[in-house]
Amino acid sequence: MAKVGIIGAGSWGIALALLLKNNGHEVTVWSIVEDEIAMLNREREHKDKLPGVMLPESIIFTTDLELSVKGKELLVLAVPSPYTRSTSHLLKDLVSEGQIIVNVAKGIEEGTFMTLSQIIEDEVPQSNVAVLSGPSHAEEVGRGIPTTIVVGAHTQKTAETVQNIFMNEVFRVYISPDILGIELGAALKNVVALAAGIADGLGYGDNTKAALITRGIAEIARLGVAMGGKYETFAGLSGIGDLIVTCASIHSRNRKAGFLIGQGKTMDEAMKEVKMVVEGVYSAKAAMGLAKKYNIDMPIIEQVNEVLFNKKPADAAVKDLMIRDKKLEHRDLPWNE
């Protein structure tokens, strides 16, 4: 049995808290929102973010951050990506040397272009940071639906520690040394999922979505490899796997926000209606900045930014994607003649 602190009581934090409790671990969940903790202690259910998933009395819900961190073998940082830095700053003086922090959010910080694990290491340098990612909606994990994810860490020992704590008969965990690739795939797929949602909102079909998924992973992999990630990672769970589920699922907040934008709502109206943090919106500008920095062609990411921030009509963005210059699908494949 391990003592685990979950930092963040959103849908993903709650789903993982239940999974870890079912694995036999001692689980404490923290939120800075007093009303949220009071509701969880009273109802034993997060009615807004994870309705129908009942939580045992043995899971501790608290606003006491020190209680959630001190003496824990592993911390799960499950706050939305825009709050990763501010929450990590709160942890700075509480985390012990070498204490494992598993980041489960997905995003890139605008301005610094840092991944979330890099932010945690910047704010809490004494920590041992790992990441957990893959095609894994909280709504399904909370119900025990079979799910497969990947854990990235700096050492195999840390990765295996996290793997052993999380893995069970319905939650299969692979391990990888490619933290950077895992996080880039996780963050950038949210931006492509916005595009897939926009296409759905415009009334386009499966052909369009398949094109966005296929060309989207090509864009993500081009940038990721240029930044030092491994191509195999983008062909795996946190790359094409997570991209498929986020572009297609009814649970995807990024796809839903895109769908609303495709139907004519503004970015702000769509985010308000989704009622949860749409992380792709926060990563879109950073993705475009990275594309420029590394001189990588990312037309889907570019058009999403145009729609989100420059009020470009969604149908015009799709048209511009379709009439781009003629291209080879794979530049490195030779012709026989």
* 275 catalytic per annotation: no
pLDDT (tens digit per residue) in 114-144: 999 999 999 999 999 999 999 999 999 999 9
Count of beta carbons in the 10 Å neighbourhood of residue 87: 21
For domain 180-322, say whether CATH 2.60.40.10 is its number.
no
Note the pLDDT tens digit of each residue in 179-221. Answer: 999 999 999 999 999 999 999 999 999 999 999 999 999 999 9
Q: What does the alpha-carbon distance between residue 26 and residue 143 come to, in Å, rounded to a whole number?
A: 20
Question: Rounded to whole angstroms, how far apart are CA atoms 66 and 6?
Answer: 12
**Which H/E stretch holds residue 83?**
none
CA–CA separation, 19 vs 168, rounded Å?
Answer: 9
Among residues 248, 250, 254, 251, which one has the least CA distance to residue 267? 254
Going by the DSSP 8-state scheme, the letter that residue 81 receives in this structure is G
Residues 6+ positions from 124 with CB-CB distance below 8 Å: 88, 91, 92, 95, 101
- For 3-177, CATH number out of 3.90.1150.10, 3.40.50.300, 3.40.50.720, 2.60.120.620 equals 3.40.50.720
- Please tell me the distance from the alpha carbon of residue 200 to that of residue 153, in angstroms, as a whole number: 36
Among 49, 106, 189, 209, the active-site one is 189
Question: Residue ranges per domain, the chain?
Answer: 3-177, 180-322
* pLDDT string in tens for the chain (337-residue length): 999 999 999 999 999 999 999 999 999 999 999 999 999 999 999 988 899 999 999 999 999 999 999 999 999 999 999 999 999 999 999 999 999 999 999 999 988 999 999 999 999 999 999 999 999 999 999 999 999 999 999 999 999 999 999 999 999 999 999 999 999 999 999 999 999 999 999 999 999 999 999 999 999 999 999 999 999 999 999 999 999 999 998 888 889 999 999 999 888 888 888 877 788 888 899 999 999 999 999 999 999 999 999 999 999 998 898 888 888 888 888 888 7
Quick check: 176 and 162 in contact, CB under 8 A? no
